[in-house]
Amino acid sequence: MAKVVIMPKFGMTMTEGTLTTWDKKEGDKIEVGELLFQVETDKLSNDVEACDAGIVRKLLVKEGDIIECLKPVAIIAGADEDISSLLNEVSEGIESEEQSNIKVPEKKIEEIKSENIKSGRVKASPLAKKMALKKNIDITLVEGTGPQGRITTEDVEKYIENSKNKPEVSPVASKALENNYAEKRVPMSGMRKVISARMLESCATSPTVTFNIKIDTTSLKKIRNALKDVCKVTYTDLIVKIVSKVLLQYPLLNCSVDGNELILRNFVNMGIAVALDDGLMVPVIKYANEKGLEEISRSIKELAQKAKDKTISVDELKGGTFTITNIGMYGIESFSPIINQPEVAILGVNKITETPVVENGEIVIKPLMNFSLTADHRAVDGSVAAEFLAKLKVYIEKPEMLFL
C-alpha cells in the first residue's frame, strides 16, 4: 500500500527543517530502517530512516528546500501501484508518475565514453583511429564530440594541439603524479554546515576577549576519590556544579544581548560541549544551579550518550545560558573557545599539569588546571570576567566555601 513520507518533528519547538540530502532517488528500492534523507535544523542534523518498504516512487521536494513539519516529502509504494490519486492529494501540479518515468535524460558523452572503455570498445571513425595510431596517441584519452561520443579526426587534432600547449612537467609534479597525490573535494555533512554557520555567526556577532587562570585542583581530586564508592563523578561534573553556583553571583556572564537590552537570569542552563565523530553538539542541563552533583553527573552522561547515538531531541539542545567545553583529556593547556550564541561567555577546561609552586617558602608540586574564559565584551568587561574567575578559583580550591 502506498505511503506518504512526511517531514518529521524532532522536538516540541521544531516547526520546519531543511531537507539537505536525499539518500535515495526515484525508482530506488528501500527497506525499513534504510536511510531515506537527512534533515537539518538550526541546532541539529538528523538522519531519517524509512518506516515502510517498497519503491521510492516520488520525491515531492528538492534538496535544500525548507519544509514545515508533518508536510509530505515523498511517496513509497509498490513498483506497479497506481499512485496518481495520492499525488493529486498531496501536491497540485505535480506530473503524473507515468509521465515522469517516460523522461529519460540523455547520457553524457563522458558516461558513454566510460562505458566503451570498460567494454574494450572505442567509438571512433576509421580515419581518427589511423591518425591516433600514426601519432602514437592513446585514443581512449581523446574526448569524442561526434554522435553518441564518437571520436572524429577533429577530436584527435584538438587533442594533439592541446598536448603541444601543455607546459613541461616539473620533477616535483612528476613525483606527485607517480605517487598519485591528489586533492579531493567532499561535501560538508549537515552537522558540519550547521557548525560552520554558527561559528561564523558567533565571530561576527561578539567582540570577544579570552582570559586564562590556573587553579589548584587538589580539593577536586579529594572529592572525586571520596565519592567514588557512591557516585563516580568527573572533573567536568564538579566544575559544572561549582560554576552553576558562581554564575548566579555574576549574572552578566549568564545573560544574553538583545539589541540594546541585556536579558539577565536568576537560573543557569548549562551547555556541555560533546565531541562526535562528525562534529560537535551542546546538550543543555536545564536549571543546573538547582541540581545536586549526582543528578548533574547522571544528566551529563545521559545527554552525551544521546548526542553520540543521535537520539537527542532539539529541545535538549536549546535554551543554554552558559557553556563549558573540556578538551583537557587531549593534553591541551590553553585555547580560545568560541561563544555559543546567543550566550555571552564560554569556559574552556584544559589539562591538569603537575606544576612546582612556592607554598610557605617551600617548593611543592600542585595539580594546576588552566581555565580559558571567552567573554562577549558587549556585556562583560574585563574586570567582571577577572572577578568571576577569581571567585571560581576560590570555590574550586576551597569547595567548602559553597556551604557559607
User: pLDDT by residue (tens digit) across 28-50?
Assistant: 999 988 889 988 887 677 888 89
pLDDT for the residue numbered 117: 41
**Please, which residues bridge with residue 368 across strands?**
216, 353
How many Å apart are CA 383 and CA 106, to the nearest integer?
68
pLDDT tens-digit map of 70-99: 899 999 999 989 988 888 887 654 443 333
Cell 498531496 belongs to: 90
Topology, domain 3-102? OB fold (Dihydrolipoamide Acetyltransferase, E2P) (2.40.50)
CATH architecture of the domain 109-178 equals Irregular (4.10)
Q: Say yes or no to pLDDT of 166 above 60.
A: yes
Residue 89: how many other CB atoms lie within 10 Å = 11
DSSP 274-342: EEETTEEE--EETTGGGS-HHHHHHHHHHHHHHHHHT---SGGGS--SEEEEE-GGGT-----PPP-TT
The verdict on whether 377 is a catalytic residue reads yes
* Catalytic residue from among 47, 65, 82, 381: 381
Residues 50-78: what's their mean pLDDT? 92
Confidence of residue 119 (pLDDT cuts 50, 70, 90): very low
- The residue type found at 395 is Y
Residue whose C-alpha cell reads 565571530 in the numeric block = 203
Whether 52 sits among the annotated catalytic residues: the reply is no
Q: Which of 28, 47, 278, 377 is catalytic?
A: 377
Domain residue limits, the chain: 3-102, 109-178, 206-403
Structure confidence by residue, pLDDT tens digits, 240-290: 999 999 999 999 999 999 999 999 999 999 999 999 988 899 999 999 999
Average pLDDT of 310-325? 94
Give burial (CB, 10 Å; 0-12/13-18/19+) of 70.
exposed
Strand-pair partners of 364: 357
Q: Are 267 and 299 in contact (CB under 8 A)?
A: no
Same fold, 3-102 and 109-178: no
In angstroms, the CA 290 to CA 248 distance is 11
Distance CA 309, CA 123 (A): 51
Per CATH, the number for 206-403 is 3.30.559.10
pLDDT reading at 215 higher than 50: yes
